[in-house]
Structure 1
Amino acid sequence: MSQEAIVLFAHGARDPIWALPAQRVAEEVRRLRPGTLVSVAFLELMTPTLAEAVEAAAASGAEVVRVVPLFLAQGGHLKRDVPALIEAVQAKHPACRIELVTAVGEDAGVVQAMAVYAAGAGGVASAD
């Protein structure tokens, strides 16, 4: 069985608090997949970058790195920018297979969870 790593890939923001939900997802993935290296990477404004996270996974012995975009849809970044980033890091680590999966927001279960949340008007935020 090959050693697998999962990189949760998010856009990034200037405010460090923005990354907390992605970190919570990473904690839950670690709970669900003990023994799997799980990290969070960002497209811009935050670190580590996707290349840095994949390189760290490869250096730790991962033979397969699954990149899971924490995006709502397959927009321009996921159609153009991210495949180019993966191609570049794949060239540096030919023994490591890097897989880019569909944006998490396009999964039927995620859509259902968002609909249930919206229908219940959960988490009403105050307008300061």
Structure 2
Amino acid sequence: MNTKAIILFGHGARDTRWHEPFDRLAALWKAQHPKILVELAFLELMQPGLEEAILSLVIVGATEVVVVPVFFGQGGHLRNDFPVLMSACQEKFPWIKLSATPAVGEDAAVLQAIIDFGARAF
């Protein structure tokens, strides 16, 4: 049986309130895609990290995990740090099909949603 899961992966911040939109995003995911497990993970300053999030999904039976970087663009963290993290996680969990999407800010629909959001201000 193939149990799919998604990890919404953010940078992290010192201010705990920064986490709140990610919590809402995960809750929306759960409401709209209840058959696909979801976890949050952060690069730094917040927990869980990527490995811990994958482990929590493995414990509940995930066999396929897609990591979605909730970053606006492909900066140094996604170009340099993220591939190393993904590679280390794949080595630790070789039986898991692990993949990643581009940064959400690279998607045309996300960019259009930001334009639409700004346009509503007028």
After TM superposition, the score normalised by the length of structure 1 is 0.90
Q: Does 1:79 align with 2:79?
A: yes
Deviations 1:99-125 (A, max 9, x none): 111111111111001011122338xxx
Per the alignment, residue 97 of structure 1 pairs with: 97
Structure 1 gaps of 5+ residues are 123-128
Give the structure 2 partner of residue 59 of structure 1: 59
Match of 2:48 in 1: 48
**How many residues of Structure 1 are paired with residues of Structure 2 in the alignment?**
122
Which residue does the alignment assign to 2:17?
Answer: 17
Q: Could you say what the CA RMSD is over the residues aligned between the two structures, in angstroms? A: 1.2
Matched residues in 2 for 1:87 and 1:61: separation? 21
Q: What is the identity, as a one-letter code, of the residue corresponding to 2:93?
A: H
- Partner of 1:56, secondary structure, is helix
Percent identity over paired residues? 47
State the Cα deviation string for residues 41-91 of structure 1 (Å, max 9, x = none). 111110000111012112221111100011001111111111110110111
Unaligned 5+ runs, structure 2: none
What displacement does 1:11 show? 0.4
TM-score where L is the length of structure 2: 0.94
User: Which 4+ runs in 1 deviate beyond 6 A?
Assistant: none
Contact kept in structure 2, 1:55 and 1:89, CA below 8 Å: no
Q: Output the amino acid matched with 1:9.
A: F
Equivalent residue number for residue 32 of structure 1: 32
Equivalent position amino acid for 1:69 in 2 = P
